[in-house]
Homo-oligomer: A and B are copies of this chain.
Amino acid sequence: MRRHRHQLPPQVTSDDDDDDDSEDSDDDPTMKCVSCKEDYTRCDAGTCRECYEEASETEEELKREIDELKSKVSFLRFWAPLNQLSNRFAPPCFTDVVLMASGDGSREAVPVPAHKAVLASRSPVFRAMLENEMVESLSGTIKISDVSYDALRAFVNYMYTAEACLDEQMACDLLVLAEKYQVKHLKTYCEKYMISKLNWENSLVNFAFSHQHNAKSLLDASQSLIMDNMDKLSKSEEYKELVEKDPRLVVQIYEAYLSKQVNTASLKDCSTKVQ
């Protein structure tokens, strides 16, 4: 909640101090706010009482809807079979497939158990793989390349719970998996997190990353941040690396910047003519 900026009008603080909520002082151009209980003048007027009451009812209704939706989410959420793995006395989870991280050289591959039905319901790629009796379906093992065990575990867990504990590395890893297996909900979730962590230092890396993995919102946000700092662009290390590695992407930034400049100029031109 913000602190209120408006001040009490002089006549209330001086003349009317002991009786500032009296209904009969009709020459006093202040009214009392039913929410913050402070007096306000005409230029600070908000709503009438009926609109206030309607808005309060709406807020209550929205809160009730949120509670219902939260309870629905918690009902639809699964106990992921992963969390049962650590306890060898845990009951069986009726899993019928395992996923294996094949790019994690640091340790022996540990299978991540899952249900074909869950994978197929969350990802059209898994669905096609499992329904069409490809080798993965027949063997009951899906190998996932270039991924760590932790990321794979978080990926599978997300498909049961719609939740993940993100840091910047995990958000990248999960976005790559979400794009590859077309789990849109997870992709949006990672993009939102990465946008919230955007700053000038990581904007170019994020721009290149989002281009590579088709993450439109992150691409737009990082490009916009880069264009606000064009004076610093060519001095950064990441810029020099990107020119070496993928000069077309750099060209794309310059093109977008030029196009924005042209638009701004023509808008200014229009407004000058109108004046």
Taking a contact as CB atoms closer than 8 A, the residue among B27, B50, B92 that contacts A36 in the complex is: B50
Interface-facing stretch out of A65-73, A146-154, A168-176, A222-230:
A65-73
Given A66-B69, A91-B131, A94-B115; A46-B50 close (CB under 8 Å):
yes
In the complex, A58 has a CB within 8 A of chain B? yes
Size class of the A contact interface (CB-based, 8 Å): 35 or more
- A2 near B54 with CB under 8 A, answer yes
Given A94-B120, A117-B94; A36-B51 close (CB under 8 Å):
yes
Chain A 21-42 near chain B by CB (<8 Å), digits 1 or 0: 0010011010111111010101
Taking a contact as CB atoms closer than 8 A, the residue among B47, B117, B162 that contacts A72 in the complex is: B162
Given A55-B59, A185-B75; A46-B48 close (CB under 8 Å):
yes
Q: How far is the CA of A26 from the CA of B9 in the complex (A)?
A: 13
Contacts of A167 in B (CB 8 A): none
Not counting A33-B45, A47-B47, a sample of 14 additional A-B residue pairs whose C-beta atoms are within 8 angstroms of each other reads A26-B42, A35-B51, A44-B49, A46-B50, A52-B52, A52-B55, A55-B56, A55-B59, A66-B66, A69-B72, A93-B117, A94-B116, A94-B117, A94-B120
A interface residues, Cβ below 8 angstroms from B = 1-2, 4-6, 23, 26-27, 29, 31-36, 38, 40, 42-56, 58-59, 62-63, 65-66, 69-73, 75-79, 81, 91-96, 115-118, 120-122, 127, 130-131, 162, 185, 188
